């Protein structure tokens, strides 16, 4: 049977760090579903459809990867996709508390689903969508952080927001 893992997140927008993680997850699992949260308590810049489209484009060269939006409880969604594993990235010690809380809450809700933490390549350890948006707002160069097409979308989105 094919082993499926879910990689959930808000991906607002997708960064080189996320793409690195998708590749690492795909090395371990036959099928990786990148699950894009429709809603978040974060202040999202892009719509769910925009975030899904960007992830599709960013991962189109990687076989066995499927991108889709999800809503509601993550563990319910994972079950609906018959996935027993969820992948999350762990970059810094500062990620740990939030990730630990989330993993334990999910474990309580669904003991049969494991969360696996994967560290990105060190070059991507400091990347965060939040800081990248800040750099974009302030007109900084984004080529180290996101693919060119994402940089363009960020600039367009911010231009529209300013109007």
Q: What DSSP state is assigned to residue 92? A: S
CB of 105 or CB of 121, closer to ligand PNS: 105
- 57 sits near ligand PNS (criterion: CB under 6 A): no
Is the dihedral angle over the CA atoms 50, 54, 60, 65 positive or is it negative?
negative
Does position 120 interact with ligand PNS (CB under 6 A)? The reply is no
- Asked if 14 interacts with ligand PNS (CB under 6 A), we say no
The verdict on 74 binding ligand PNS (CB under 6 A) reads yes
Whether residue 47 lies in the annotated active site? no
* CA separation for the pair 87, 77 (Å, rounded): 14
Examine the residue annotation and report whether 18 is marked as an active-site residue of this protein.
yes
Q: Phi and psi for 70 in degrees, rounded to 5?
A: -140, 160
Tokens 């319910």 sit at which residue? 76
Site residues, ligand PNS (CB under 6 A):
8-10, 37, 40, 42, 73-74, 102, 105-106
């Amino acid at each position: 049977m094919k082993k499926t893992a879910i990689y959930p997140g808000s991906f607002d927008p997708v960064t080189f760090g996320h793409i690195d993680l998708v590749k690492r997850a795909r090395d371990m699992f036959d099928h990786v579903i990148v699950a894009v949260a429709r809603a978040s308590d974060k202040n999202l810049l892009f719509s769910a459809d925009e975030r899904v489209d960007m992830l599709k484009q960013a991962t189109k060269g990687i076989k066995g990867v499927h991108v889709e939006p999800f809503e509601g409880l993550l563990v319910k969604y994972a079950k609906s996709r018959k996935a027993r594993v969820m992948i999350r990235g762990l970059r810094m010690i500062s990620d740990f508390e939030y990730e630990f809380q989330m993993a334990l809450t999910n474990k309580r809700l669904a003991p049969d689903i494991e969360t696996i933490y994967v560290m990105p390549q060190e070059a991507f350890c400091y990347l965060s969508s939040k800081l990248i948006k800040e750099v974009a707002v302030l007109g900084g160069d984004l080529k180290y952080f996101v693919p060119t097409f994402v940089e363009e979308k960020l600039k367009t989105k911010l231009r529209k927001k300013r109007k």
